[in-house]
């Protein structure tokens, strides 16, 4: 069965009407919480990495919108349902702070959807929701696109995260899955250009 997707949890925090900041696109497992080979299937399996709530607060203070983009194929495999997913997400937010949008791709690789990373579908949908614009064109063989906002960034522990971020022109930050976003938060706040990435490699 092909599930509709991505699943969208949209609850933007209120910002000044003239907000013109960047979007921080963050992967979930290995960036905010410890991932698991057996997947995170309930709130008891959520283990937040050290320093994540401080990092989320730093992003917020620096004026970023915060968007979580996560591939969760266990939804399609019947190992996880939407209710459990949403409980996990409220639990994470209770522990580290609020997110503006959470996008979840429920599909498997062979479903050929437009949301599973490295496809940038979830990032583009969130950008549309928050600021009405996104990247329309996808060209893995062309130049890295110009981002909607120069500070847009993607943090992830996998090559598929870097691919999705690259496709929207974001600054790219690859982290160790056991450390997560605290590893590179200072670089983000300092305006670092991010890691080099070639989607053809």
Q: Let me know if 29 is a catalytic residue.
A: yes
Burial environment of residue 109 by CB neighbours within 10 A (0 to 12, 13 to 18, 19 or more): exposed
**Among candidates 60, 84, 80, which has minimal Cα distance to 72?**
80
Minimum CB–partner distance for residue 59 and Zn ion (Å): 25
* Residue 158 binds Zn ion (CB under 5 A): no
Q: Least distance to Zn ion from the beta carbon of 109, Å?
A: 10
Q: Are 100 and 92 in contact (CB under 8 A)?
A: no
Contact flag: residue 113 with Zn ion (CB under 5 A): yes
* 103 in contact with Zn ion (CB under 5 A): no
Please report whether residue 130 would count as binding Zn ion according to CB under 5 A.
no
User: Is 27 noted as a catalytic residue in this protein?
Assistant: yes
Contact status: 165 vs Zn ion (CB under 5 A) = no
Count of helix runs (H) and strand runs (E) in the chain = 6, 6
Which region, left, alpha or beta, applies to residue 191 given φ > 0 means left and ψ of -120 to 50 means alpha? left
Q: How many residues belong to the chain?
A: 201
Please identify which residue in 28, 60, 89, 107 interacts with Zn ion, judged by CB under 5 A. Answer: 107
Catalytically annotated residue among 29, 100, 157, 161:
29
For residue 99 the two structure tokens come to 């997110």
Residue 116, interface with Zn ion (CB under 5 A)?
A: yes
Residues annotated catalytic, as ranges: 27, 29
Chain residues that interact with Zn ion, rule: CB under 5 A: 5, 105, 107, 113, 115-116
């Amino acid at each position: 069965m092909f599930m509709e997707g991505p699943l969208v949890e949209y609850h933007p925090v209120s910002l000044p009407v003239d907000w013109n900041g960047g979007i921080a696109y963050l992967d979930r497992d290995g960036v905010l919480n410890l991932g698991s080979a057996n997947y995170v299937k309930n709130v008891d399996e959520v283990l937040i990495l050290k320093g994540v709530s401080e990092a989320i607060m730093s992003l917020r203070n620096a004026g970023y919108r915060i968007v979580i983009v996560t591939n969760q194929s266990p939804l399609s495999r019947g190992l996880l349902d939407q209710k459990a997913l949403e409980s996990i997400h409220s639990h994470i937010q209770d522990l580290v702070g609020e997110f503006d949008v959470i996008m979840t791709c429920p599909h498997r690789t062979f479903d050929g959807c437009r949301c599973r990373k490295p496809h940038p579908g979830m990032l583009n949908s969130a950008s549309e929701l928050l600021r009405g614009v996104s990247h329309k064109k996808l060209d893995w063989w062309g130049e890295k696109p110009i981002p909607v906002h120069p500070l847009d960034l993607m943090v992830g522990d996998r090559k598929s995260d870097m691919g999705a971020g690259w496709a929207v022109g974001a600054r790219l930050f690859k982290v160790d899955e056991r450390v997560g976003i605290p590893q590179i938060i200072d670089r983000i706040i300092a305006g670092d250009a991010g890691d080099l990435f070639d989607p053809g490699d």
